[in-house]
Amino acid sequence: MLDSGDTAWILVSTALVVLMTPGVGLFYAGMVRGKNVVSMISLAFVALVVVSVQWVLVGYSLAFSSDIAGFIGNLGFLGLNGVGMGCGDLTIPELAFMAFQLAFAVITLAILTSAMAERVKISGFIVFCLLWTTLVYDPIAHWVWGGGWLAQLGALDFAGGTVVHICSGFSALAVVLVIGKRRGFGEQQMGPHNIPMTLLGVALLWFGWFGFNGGSALAANGLAANAFVVTNTSAAAGAIGWMAASWNHGQQSSLGMVSGAVAGLVAITPAAGFVGPMSALVIGAVAGVICYKAMLFRIKKNFDESLDAWAIHGVGGLWGALATGIFATAAVGGYTGLIYGNVGQFIAQIIGAVAAIVYAFTLTLILAKLVDVTIGLRVTEEEEYVGLDISQHGEEAYA
């Protein structure tokens, strides 16, 4: 039966998660050079546009209609057929649930654009979007949330640590292997062109994440409040963790602080409905430290995944998935983790995370390669030199 309070909360949460997508765009765009700013924000908008249409046509159906072999949904909801204003078993309209899930599919793709920064061809990207969201995101969403094999296994993922963050983060790594480094990477300075833009992006992300995690309770209740609180707590702890790990003679980069906050937000995502605030402090702080270390590792390995979707979302999501299996407490979400002696849950979490990593990484590698050898995923040297804003969009960010 419809509950107006739950419905209000889910609609708002959906709006918040949609806002996160341009938020990611601004977050990333501030960190690129001035000649690729329009491009970076546009990639987020393209993700929003393309997935918004794909999802209502087929994506929702693949992820959430009746299960086929634990792997994928059938075409029962094609074109939102049968997805209506009524509530089914929920307390919110089916359309609201569909829209909430849509926003997750959108932002997962937006996070992934990190790997393409300053070198992707817009036409190739659009095609990649369609392929990736259909063949990588939709199945994994089905496995975990749509009644697929991971759900059956009992792997927990409250708001998308696996589905959103592991999936986008490790896919980003795969894309980088195909698309290659930016020309001049490691030789020329490629510093951030506008840090306030990045900070604004983080502000929108932090704000939106309350809907991301809080809305995942699918109701405006105590569980939503818990998810809300642990989200904020873990974000703050993540910032502190990163700051502590990178403290440098009294200097503290703002980008470090907010990267840590995002790491904390990522890590708490799968756990938000299963752990309490004190666990969130630990999860967030650890996330801040290990995502920082992952970034250092990425730099050492000379991977040009420089907006760090892998280090923050991939590694942070992985840690979050495991942490859920460690800290889950029956008092919050009814499940227990390792600290209560439940080894089974921890193993389920490992299986879920590894499966998502392997699937997302492998398939993304194939899809990116496919696009690259057909229409091309990367711009020419000349276009890269001039910048994507001019070459791909015919625009200059600032006059």
Partner 1 sequence: MMKKIEAIIRPEMLDRVKKVLEQKGCVAMTITDAKGRGEQKGITLQFRGRSMEVDTLPKIKIEMVVMDEIADAVINAIADAARTGKFGDGKIFVLPVEEAIRVRTGERSRDYP
Q: What does the longest C-alpha to C-alpha distance in the chain come to? A: 61
Q: How far is the CB of 267 from partner 1 (least distance, A)?
A: 18
88 binds, among a copy of itself, partner 1, none (CB under 5 to 8 A by kind): none
Rounded Cα distance between 27 and 197, Å, is 7
Closest CA to 81 of 50, 102, 60, 54: 60
Instruction: Report d(CA 185, CA 193) in Å as an integer.
Output: 16
Nearer to a copy of itself, 45 or 71 (CB): 45
C-beta of 70 vs 376, nearer to a copy of itself:
376
- Which entry of partner 1, a copy of itself, none binds 296, CB below 5 to 8 A by partner kind? partner 1
* Backbone φ, ψ for residue 67 (5° rounding): -70, 140
Residue at token pair 């949609």: 18
Instruction: Lay out the site mask for partner 1 across 26-45 (x = CB under 8 A, - = otherwise).
Output: --------xx----------
**Contact flag: residue 188 with partner 1 (CB under 8 A):** yes
Find the shortest distance in angstroms from Cβ 125 to a copy of itself: 10
Q: Which residues pair with 251 in a beta bridge?
A: 248
Stretch that binds partner 1, among 94-102, 149-157, 162-170, 187-195 (CB under 8 A): 187-195
Give the nearest distance from C-beta 33 to partner 1 in angstroms.
9
Q: How far is the CB of 297 from a copy of itself (least distance, A)?
A: 21
How far, in Å, CA of 334 to CA of 311, rounded?
Answer: 31
Q: Does 295 bind partner 1 (CB under 8 A)?
A: yes
250 forms part of the interface with partner 1 (CB under 8 A): no
Residue 280 backbone zone (phi > 0: left; psi -120 to 50: alpha; other: beta): alpha
User: Does residue 198 belong to the site contacting partner 1 (CB under 8 A)?
Assistant: no
Smallest gap from residue 204 Cβ to a copy of itself (A): 8
Round to whole Å and give the CA distance between 184 and 209: 35
> Taking the mean position of all CA atoms in its chain, how far away is CA 65?
23
The one among 299, 354, 365, 370 contacting partner 1 by CB under 8 A: 299
Query: Tokens 């991939």 correspond to what residue?
Result: 314
Q: The tokens of 248 are what?
A: 């440098």
Find which of a copy of itself, partner 1, none residue 203 binds, CB within 5 to 8 Å per kind.
Answer: a copy of itself
d(CA 377, CA 125): 6
SS3 72: strand
Interface contacts to partner 1, rule CB under 8 A: 34-35, 184, 187-189, 191-192, 246, 248, 251, 253, 255-256, 259, 292, 295-296, 299, 308, 386, 390-391, 394-396
